[in-house]
Amino acid sequence: MLSIGKTAYLVGLTVKAIKHYEEIGLIQPAYVNPESGYRFYSQKEQQQLIRIRTMRSFGVSLSDILREGDEQMDRLLLHRKREIEQEINELQGKMEGIDQLLNKGENDMETRIVESERFTVKGYEVVGPVSAIPAEWDRLIKEINENDVVVEESFGVCLKMENDIIHYIAGLKSELTEGFPDTKEVIIPAGKFIVATVEGGIPGIPAAYDYIIQMEDIKLRDCYDFERYVHPAGVSEDVIEIWMPIE
């Protein structure tokens, strides 16, 4: 067994950090000298400290490590990876928005006005944080593949957004979803929409919304807005459109 100072040196932590982990219940020394109070750590605790240090270096919170236990490092890192992916998407969206503002008047976004008939979208519902949306798209794609449905377009419909909670449906036109379990539906009323083609893929969606809202020659009406994903045959990437209802 090694002293706390030697252990701190070997595992790349400070003595202060190790004592803090002890105070909050993350780790305990293998032995404490009853006379001197000196702490000693075996290889088991040193390995534990390395796991904690590794997770902390990737931004895993101490509360998560306390709740799950450091032996669940793989699961905690996978969860953190998903958080980072969401953070990257949000940052890319912010970059797109900054570029859009800086280039305003130089690179106009492609838009058009469409008179749409009423149609129904059926799919999988999200009532929660935006980060929950990709899982429902995965569920939809799974059902499309298992039912051999030929899909040329799909829709992400925003029913409501309040604070950080979104009510959203990832789906298809209703006639394509026969046999899909546990679907929810929303009716898109007939009316006029302004349609913007998104640049830069999914991270560019916020910038497209901002661009439309700042257009001075349109007036938005109270109806559902939605994302339309067009899947052209023979093309590897979707065309993404934002549809916003206008008067």
SS (H, E, C) the chain: CEEHHHHHHHHCCCHHHHHHHHHCCCCCCCEECCCCCCEEECHHHHHHHHHHHHHHHCCCCHHHHHHHCHHHHHHHHHHHHHHHHHHHHHHHHHHHHHHHHHCCCCCCCCEEEEEECCEEEEEEEEEECHHHHHHHHHHHHHHHHHCCCCCCEEEEEEEEEECCEEEEEEEEEHHHCCCCCCCEEEEECCEEEEEEECCCCHHHHHHHHHHHHCCCCCCECCCCEEEEEECCCCCCCCEEEEEEEEC
Q: What is the pLDDT of residues 65-91, one digit of tens each?
A: 999 988 899 999 999 999 999 899 888
Average pLDDT value over all residues in the chain: 89
CB 116 within 8 A of CB 193: yes
| Percent above pLDDT 90 for the chain | 61
pLDDT of 50 higher than 60: yes
Arithmetic mean of pLDDT, 144-164: 90
Residues 49-72 have a mean pLDDT of 91
**Tokens encoding 202:** 């999914």
* 163-183 residue pLDDT tens: 889 999 999 999 999 889 999
The stretch 117-132 carries a mean pLDDT of 93
At residue 205, the pLDDT reads 85
pLDDT at 171: 95
Report, as an integer, the average pLDDT of 138-148. Answer: 92
Instruction: Give residue 140's pLDDT.
Output: 94
Q: Name the residue with tokens 């379990």.
A: 181
Strand partners, 3: 40
Indicate the pLDDT class of residue 94, thresholds 50, 70 and 90: confident
- Residue 238's pLDDT band, with cuts at 50, 70 and 90, is confident
